[in-house]
Structure 1
């Protein structure tokens, strides 16, 4: 199995898609401890955590022919784990009445996960939504939120009126709110599907 030690996650997944069980086993050993720690922290149950992580890898193997990874493997496996955790919590009636906002909080509140999972699905969704903004609106939004510039500073830099800058930021926030709500609604439907399966 050491022959795969220099392979990237995505390369191992590509081999797994070709029914390479050794590549799958290597991915399993590379990730199971991290996934188990995350699941145990969220579920507060070692038994539930082991079951969830086992389900993640079973799903990975079963869906290998159907799912083409669009981003990195670690983002993909992290998303599956999050959905499984939420489904398990719902099945245990620990979050039966959680709102979409609660689900959002669960998905993004654990910053320790970001140290090894890069960007979460939600962060990717937000970035995609920002990129979908018109060029000027996107530029102003990034200057405001990413660079921390005030409306007045942005207006001076771009030779615009502060009112115009404010209008662009308001437009961007409204658009992002709609996009994020759509994503969270879809996420809640996925969770409901997982509970029923």
Structure 2
């Protein structure tokens, strides 16, 4: 099969169906970018390489079975961010460095500090506990990428109502998930 012409999301799906060659293409597409991003933050090549390998290994171990809401690029970017934060925390070299400028993708050394799959489950559970309308507005904002005006038009409500729902959702998620998990969620 000509994997090279397929999108990342298609490759991830095929990998989940047992097509290991699809993972090889994803690996080739991402490892240099991931290494570059990790090296920018960690500034130690060996640490950066290990974090990238841990990230890619976590994807391999998932066998394509972890649900991806937005895109593979966003998913692997989030995994890398968590790996980097975990490495920084484990090394205790730096207090907390912001990693919000990582636009692309972590999860093995991170297990000591935070298990990515568990966090996803916690976040999804917390979102499902929101009131129905609040949940809908929040998902349209965060998952569909709509702005307040677009949501208001789609739901035939005022922008102030949309803003109130998003504020309410964020407040409840912050309380439910705790400060650290909530910060990580915002960077996802």
What is the TM-score with the length of structure 1 in the denominator? Answer: 0.58
Q: How does 1:35-184 map to 2 (within 5 A)?
A: 35-64=34-63, 66-95=65-94, 98=96, 106-108=98-100, 110=101, 113-114=102-103, 131-132=137-138, 142=148, 171=164, 174-179=167-172, 181=174, 182-183=176-177
2:8 equivalent to 1:9: yes
**3-state SS of 2:75 partner:** helix
Pairwise CA RMSD: 3.7
Give yes or no for contact 2:11–2:22 (8 Å, CA) kept in 1. yes
**3-state SS of 1:35 partner:** helix
**3-state SS of 1:36 partner:** helix
What is the TM-score with the length of structure 2 in the denominator? Answer: 0.60
**Deviation >6 Å, runs of 4+:** none
**Unpaired segments ≥5 residues, structure 1:** 134-140, 144-157, 159-164, 191-197
Distance in 1 of aligned mates of 2:69 and 2:24: 22
Distance in 1 of aligned mates of 2:88 and 2:46: 13
Distance in 2 of aligned mates of 1:175 and 1:107: 26
Compute the displacement of 1:21 (Å).
Answer: 1.9
Report the number of matched residues: 143
Compute the displacement of 1:5 (Å).
Answer: 1.6
For each residue in 1:1-59, what CA deviation from the matched residue of structure 2 results, as whole angstroms up to 9, or x when unmatched? 8x212101011111111222211110001011111111111111111110000001111
Compute the displacement of 1:70 (Å).
Answer: 2.2
Q: Which has the larger radius of gyration?
A: 1
**Unpaired segments ≥5 residues, structure 2:** 106-119, 121-126, 128-133, 140-146, 150-157
Distance in 2 of aligned mates of 1:62 and 1:40: 24
